[in-house]
Amino acid sequence: MNTNEKRKHPRVNALNLSYICLDEDQQVIKQGMGRTLNVSESGILLETHFPIETKHTVLLSIGFKDCLVDIKGRPAHIRSTGPDVYEIGIEFIDLDETARHAVKEYLDPLGK
């Protein structure tokens, strides 16, 4: 294990997803498709073509194996990696039991 690692949960390579970005008044301001660069029990690293501000809420629809789940998240950090390419670390919030189970099952290397 890397002793310099500061993350609470290990990351796993992931998949494509759709998302909706809401402003502070819960109004839709952006929506699109993104690519997850990795996923953990507490969040994802999402690649998009435009930035999402940390004050906004993100509604994600993610397919984990055979289960499609809707997850709410909050951008924790963002960085530009090239022209119109952004990596956004999104922390899951208000994860319901179905979504929590789907994420854990996806991350289980033995597929239990």
Domain boundaries, the chain: 16-107
21-51, pLDDT tens digit by residue?
999 999 999 999 888 888 889 999 999 998 9
**CATH superfamily ID and name for 16-107:** predicted glycosyltransferase like domains (2.40.10.220)
pTM: 0.78
Residues 12-22 have pLDDT tens digits of: 555 678 899 99
* Rg from Cα positions in the chain: 14
**What is the Cα–Cα distance from 63 to 92, expressed in whole angstroms?**
15
